[in-house]
Structure 1
């Protein structure tokens, strides 16, 4: 089999022993396109996720080229993505997680759309099927039509909604802008801005991925004071890192002023939260909250209140989550 692969389908995994079999099977079961490179990559899982990947690859006899790799140490989301992008041998890279399922036509549809654009598009998103942790389909998750975002100015007016579990991007985004910086867990948001600085983006208006609930954001619905603080620290680190990534990429693309103007308000808020989280105690936290700041006073005081009494914040978040579940009949 000497024909060049048309794309690389990457399965990213970490501690997903219970779901990896279905994820890998869906990657190996891609139809309507051959050959493709399938890269099964494990981020130093302590369970048997990697061993299961190896077993699937050894038994596979289909048309696609399968490679299994494992990071010697855990790199986290951004480090793992940087590694597989470097390892990929094709320009187009389709991403999936080890707890999701790609529909059989996914790779073929993404390749068709990309090639129809003259291989100019730098990011392709799609709708998803919302799936419970137990594998029950709960409906379709619609994402924004990225064809309506033709420039960074469009992005600055309103940032579109996409889901990283169902996006593909080009390797040249990493060649032009460099690897994702430490802490950038929202890789889809980083890739989207990069794409709008280059070849553009589009959405395939059909579900191509069954997207399993049960990730970190879902587990954090089990709110306690301690878990609330851990959730706040993690979320703040991710948001600050994303803003810094946007600034870095916008500077390289010559649109830093546009991006800064569009994001400065929320970036100021994230830096304020970071300062509260770093404060050594309640009095230090309230001194920070009461200092003059471009962040609105009522917002500052509310965040200081939550971080001083996280048990109260946890109860409020739990109540909000329960109310949303009630309003939507138990679904998102």
Structure 2
């Protein structure tokens, strides 16, 4: 591969930020330190209530590394992650879109290595990703984290049903893939779970076997949450998860149908099962019964979820924490 081939891939590097003033300067500088040449930067803030946007602007203005196109922008109102992703993918002009979060750190060669992997796939891979080094809020390294999709060697059916695929903080995808499927409609979904599946529908997903990102845990989307201490809290936690999974499955089914793929029929059953869970956790038992189609898998899911509700209630009654 010669240097001209390498730099023929136009890249848009997107930095997404929201209320990350403690980490945004380091995230911006790591983005601007990218060694890849044919690149544009879009630093976008989703109407933070802290100084994130101000610090983003000042970091770019003061950095000598900002000698390539850099757009620093802020949404006029908070629109949420999925709408933010949809908007920025429309704005991006690159063939390949590399995404970073406002509390993570990309190593200087991250984009270069992602492009290399993309070219090695003959531009057939629509998603490229890597492992990460986890760090805490102080920057202390906590170890290597590898994506589930690599460790479990998933096929398309596995991917269609999984809620743990690649690590979103490392993700890059093609502009063409987003144009083919259009914006993500399910606002309650997670973009990495949707886009990785879209990519798998179209062809291979490429993996760079090296940590290209220092991934912040304990803040943002990765923040650990306290376990609920009462019945209502425990059920509400399960309800929130069911809502997310239902949104992911719904979007995946929509995307598969859009390009005429019929080899992921299990998704329809999985979506019904998840909607039943959502109805039960919401206390709408009549709605859950209406969703039953008497398939063994669906019926088993109904019985299992009712059992979870029953035994969770018993557990908290025993501990007097209702």
The answer on 1:43 being equivalent to 2:52 is no
Please state whether the residue corresponding to 1:259 is helix, strand or coil.
coil
Q: Secondary structure at the match of 1:221?
A: coil
In structure 1, list runs of 5 or more residues that go unmatched. 317-332
TM-score (norm 1): 0.80
Secondary structure at the counterpart of residue 219 of structure 1: coil
Distance 1:157 1:185, change over 3 A: closer
- Could you tell me which of 23, 26, 30 is aligned with 2:30? 26
In the alignment, structure 1 residue 17 sits paired with structure 2 residue 24: no
Give RMSD over aligned pairs.
3.3
Alignment TM-score, normalising by the size of structure 2? 0.83
Q: Helix, strand or coil: the match of 2:21?
A: coil
Separation of aligned partners in 2, 1:212 and 1:37? 24
| Cα distance change on mapping 1:37 and 1:111 into 2, 3 Å | same
Other-structure match for 2:305: 300
Over 3 Å counting, the alpha-carbon distance change for 1:199 and 1:307 in structure 2 is same
Deviation per CA, 1:116-135, whole angstroms, max 9, x where unpaired? 33322100010111222332
Partner of 1:254: 260
CA contact (8 A) 2:161 2:249 kept: no
- Name the counterpart of 1:79: 83
Looking at structure 1, the residues matched to 121 and 224 of structure 2 have their Cα atoms a distance apart, in angstroms, of 39
Structure 1 residues 73-222: aligned runs within 5 Å: 73-143=77-147, 144-145=149-150, 152=156, 155=159, 161-214=165-218, 215-216=220-221, 218-222=223-227
Equivalents in 1 of 2:319, 2:172: separation in Å?
A: 36
Residue 75 of structure 1 and its aligned partner are, at CA, apart by: 1.3
The whole-number CA distance in structure 1 between the counterparts of 2:282 and 2:204 is 39
Distance 2:320 2:123 in 1: 50
8 Å contact from structure 2 (residues 39, 69) kept in 1: yes
Q: 1:203 to 1:57 in 2, by over 3 A?
A: same
Moved more, 96-105 or 155-164: 155-164
Question: Please, which moves more after superposition, 46-55 or 58-67?
Answer: 58-67
Tell me: CA distance 1:287–1:170, structure 2 relative to 1, closer, same or farther (3 Å): closer
**Secondary structure of the corresponding residue to residue 22 of structure 2:** coil
Gaps of 5+ in 2: 1-6
Residue of structure 2 in register with 1:322 after alignment:
none
Using the alignment, how far apart are the partners of 2:141 and 2:216 within structure 1? 9
Corresponding residue pairs, total: 306
Shift of 1:183: 2.3
Change (3 A) 1:251 1:192: same
Deviation sequence 1:144-176 (CA, Å, 0-9, x none): 449x66x74574597873111111001111211
Instruction: Go from structure 1 to structure 2 and tell me whether the alpha carbon gap of 1:199 and 1:301 turns closer, same or farther (over 3 Å shift).
Output: closer
